[in-house]
Amino acid sequence: MRSQSAPKNRKSKLQLIHQYYSYTGFYNFIWENIKKSILPFILIIGGLILIDRFVIDFNSFFSYITENYSAISIFSLFFTSESLLGLIPPELFIAWVNTLPNPFLNLSLLALLSYLGGCVSYFIGRGILSIPKVSHYLESKMAKHIINIRKWGGFLIIVGALLPIPFSMVSIAAGIISFSFRRYLMYGLFRFLRFYLYALAIFSLMS
């Protein structure tokens, strides 16, 4: 006798994935980080507006920067920052490229450098595995990121690329657990979307 067909109430793969992310708190994690990102974004944008109106004209300031420092040196500084824990807020560089010729072309270059900086962070994570003391130290300091990326994998990389979660930290954690680099490259492309969305807000405020 042929075996009976699968029960109609059997959950699909998509439903099982949804259930897994619900049970492991992924959706709550995203929501909490969205809430956390709203206030800093408002403060940064509001601060830029207030400084521009009452302290210094940003167009003049960035023009001074451009005249006295080469674009290569500024892009190099940004790349270094994005490779090492995002020490300088990318929003400042986004505002700067708006004062350059072909701002969207330069914005795309910023996004590419941020993406490549994440790749550097990924290989930093892979490299520290060969240094036991450093590896142990970072694993203890980044325990939360490592646990989360083991649970959620590529989805956490997407969230890190889009939200103000330190993308470099997520990238280092991905390297530490030897997450597939090919998949990392694919998920990390959402970094470009973040820069374009932020630029829409910042460019419109500076116009």
Q: What is the 3-state secondary structure (H, E, C) of the chain?
A: CCCCCCCCCCCCHHHHHHHHHHHCCHHHHHHHHHHHHHHHHHHHHHHHHHHHHHCCCHHHHHHHHHHHCCHHHHHHHHHHHHHCCCCCCHHHHHHHHCCCCCHHHHHHHHHHHHHHHHHHHHHHHHHHHHCHHHHHHHHHHCHHHHHHHHHHCHHHHHHHHHCCCCHHHHHHHHHHCCCCHHHHHHHHCHHHHHHHHHHHHHHHHHC
What pLDDT does residue 111 have? 96
pLDDT digits (tens, 9 = 90+) for 93-127: 998 898 888 999 999 999 999 999 999 999 998 88
Mean pLDDT of the chain: 82
What pLDDT does residue 58 have? 65
For residues 167 and 75, what is the distance between their CA atoms, to the nearest angstrom? Answer: 18
Tracing tokens 């116009």 back to the chain, one arrives at: 207
How far does Cα 128 stand from its chain's mean position? Answer: 21
Nearest residue to 48 via CA among 88, 82, 86, 96: 96
Within the chain, which residues score under 70 in pLDDT? 1-10, 36-37, 40-41, 44-45, 48, 51-52, 55-59, 135, 138-139, 206-207
What pLDDT does residue 103 have? 92
